[in-house]
Structure 1
């Protein structure tokens, strides 16, 4: 690589910076972090996450031995057991029949299943967008939720804890190094870059669909 070359991970970060900011500034996310949602309002997001990660982690199993996508599949990232525990805490033992995915969530999960079936580079785009976000801003969200809702131990916000990753920064650095070393031609890299924006669009649409749960000014949270 020449001294003036840009690392692929840096290209991805720059290309998605605006979309990332758009997702973080969604009304629902601001209310979530500020503690303005009641538990039902928070539980609605956990429901959407379960549907999304069920599709993502199903795709990960299909890609586990793929030469391009396989190196990114890591059981330390798996979120479904934590989401199930959070939903049981928040909704009760019958949580599975109470899940209500929004149309935006159904669309997102459908996209994850589609790329997980036949596009390793597009799968990596979704994997990168979700899990590196979880290991970055997601950790902050988890701390805010625990504080505002009195969630202690593993109850209610287990999704935001990665017990098998002791150093998130080192993990993210190693992950980005794998992105930089991906054996893709320019067409493959372009597909991955494009799909990162698709992933952010889907995520933003899911968050926007939950905005109606944010209390209006002067209303009780």
Structure 2
């Protein structure tokens, strides 16, 4: 009996697992979830998200009617209005004048703009990397920041609330089924995976820029723990 082929979504997830873990393991992320980042540090994350989703959702509009990319464009995922509401609550109505994205964020947004309206598979790569992350670990981060800063889905943490997606697991399963059904030749599959890995590297660079908000003692403790784990793994 022949072994059934591994679905594309499973191969994509396995191939990007290391890059995904590297992004999620950044000092800023662990400190944010643990409650060690002050409110200004959280606001800085929201500013970076706004720049990224402005690029991605502009590309989504351009790709809405594309035969390959269009089925992934779903208004239930749109984050930009929620981010603008969060920034208005956290910073004030003049938030755009009082905040700016970091260089790493600008590079990430520039990459999205450069490829996501000309390459359907690369658009899907960025869409997958961001939105499936939002519906997975992002929900955990949302609960953590709501507790830490006294925020809610209506005030300051709207980005993490997907009101039109009542069953996130079912939604993600259907999303992966769409990935599996993509009519990709080997070159297009390779391009999609390459772009996913690049997106994770950009995301890691953004978190590294945000690490300036991690208290020095916390960063040193994280580094010590990471070194201990690495030493144990080698031993």
Deviates further, 109-118 or 131-140 = 109-118
Per the alignment, residue 169 of structure 1 pairs with: 169
Once the two structures are TM-superposed, the CA of residue 45 in structure 1 deviates from its matched residue by 0.4
2:70 aligned with 1:70, yes or no? yes
Per the alignment, residue 61 of structure 1 pairs with: 61
Q: Where in structure 1 are there 5+ consecutive unaligned residues?
A: none
Per the alignment, residue 19 of structure 1 pairs with: 19
Matched residue SS, 2:65: coil
> What is the rounded CA distance, in whole Å, between the counterparts of 1:178 and 1:31 in structure 2?
34
> What is the rounded CA distance, in whole Å, between the counterparts of 2:64 and 2:41 in structure 1?
34
Per the alignment, residue 31 of structure 2 pairs with: 31
> What is the rounded CA distance, in whole Å, between the counterparts of 2:169 and 2:187 in structure 1?
30
Runs of 4+ aligned structure 1 residues displaced above 2 Å come to none
> What is the rounded CA distance, in whole Å, between the counterparts of 1:153 and 1:208 in structure 2?
26
Once the two structures are TM-superposed, the CA of residue 100 in structure 1 deviates from its matched residue by 1.3
Q: Where in structure 2 are there 5+ consecutive unaligned residues?
A: 220-235
Matched residue SS, 2:217: coil
Count of residues in Structure 1 that have an aligned counterpart in Structure 2: 218
Once the two structures are TM-superposed, the CA of residue 153 in structure 1 deviates from its matched residue by 4.5
Once the two structures are TM-superposed, the CA of residue 150 in structure 1 deviates from its matched residue by 1.0
> What is the rounded CA distance, in whole Å, between the counterparts of 2:69 and 2:197 in structure 1?
18
RMSD: 1.3
Per the alignment, residue 137 of structure 1 pairs with: 137
TM-score, normalised with respect to structure 2: 0.90
TM-score, normalised with respect to structure 1: 0.96
> What is the rounded CA distance, in whole Å, between the counterparts of 2:38 and 2:215 in structure 1?
9
